[in-house]
Homo-oligomer: A and B are copies of this chain.
Amino acid sequence: MIISIGCDHIVTEIKNHLIDYLESKGHKVIDNGTYDKIRTHYPIYGKKTADKVASGEADLGITICGTGVGISTSANKVDGVRAALVGDVETARYAKENLNANIVAFGGRILGIGLIENIIDVFLGTEYKSTKENEKIIQKINSLNGHVGQVNDDDYFDEFLKKWDCGEYHD
């Protein structure tokens, strides 16, 4: 399978480990970054990872940040993406089987690597069951889609990055 993966600077090493893990199992991985530990912003990588899934370039996606919340929220705001934030194997199984989730997400500061690998194995290995009930809920979710124009627009966040560079955001 082709897996689109993305993370923020808090969990870069975990993402790198998972790329090796996925490639060792024969998957092709699209690494959307971030590539180092320099402070950056999770929506950039959540959106990039999700865009590849939405456009069909990748089959499935994986997003990771500290808690998983920020990056998976940004992924979910991409049309056609259903990103499952999970803390256990069974929720990943359910989300794939019933909601046809196409991204799995977790917190690299919440879960350990053994559990993460097990979640990924099950997420990739579980088939969606196309029942009437499941199709109905997915159609309802799709009806909430927003503005398609944002997909694969790499300049989408420029206005905020400019403000950041000008020092307008500070602790």
Contact = CB atoms under 8 A, between A and B. Distances in A.
A67 B112 CA distance: 9
Number of copies: 2
A141 interface: no
A107 to B, nearest CB: 6
A111 interface: yes
Interface string A77-118: 000000000000000000000000000000111111111000
Kindly list the 5 A-B residue pairs having the minimum CB-CB distance in the complex, ordered from nearest.
A109-B114, A109-B112, A110-B112, A110-B115, A111-B112
Mostly, the A contact residues are loop
11 contacts: A66-B114, A67-B114, A108-B112, A109-B112, A109-B115, A110-B111, A110-B112, A110-B114, A110-B115, A111-B111, A111-B115
Contacts of A109: 112-115
Given A109-B115, A111-B115, 11 more contacts: A66-B114, A107-B112, A107-B114, A109-B112, A109-B114, A110-B112, A110-B114, A110-B115, A111-B111, A111-B112, A112-B112
Contacts of A108: 112
A107 B110 CA distance: 12
Contacts of A112: 107-112
A84 B114 CA distance: 20
A109 B111 CA distance: 8
Q: Which of A109, A110, A112, A115 has the most CB of B within 10 A?
A: A112
Contacts of A114: 66-67, 107, 109-110
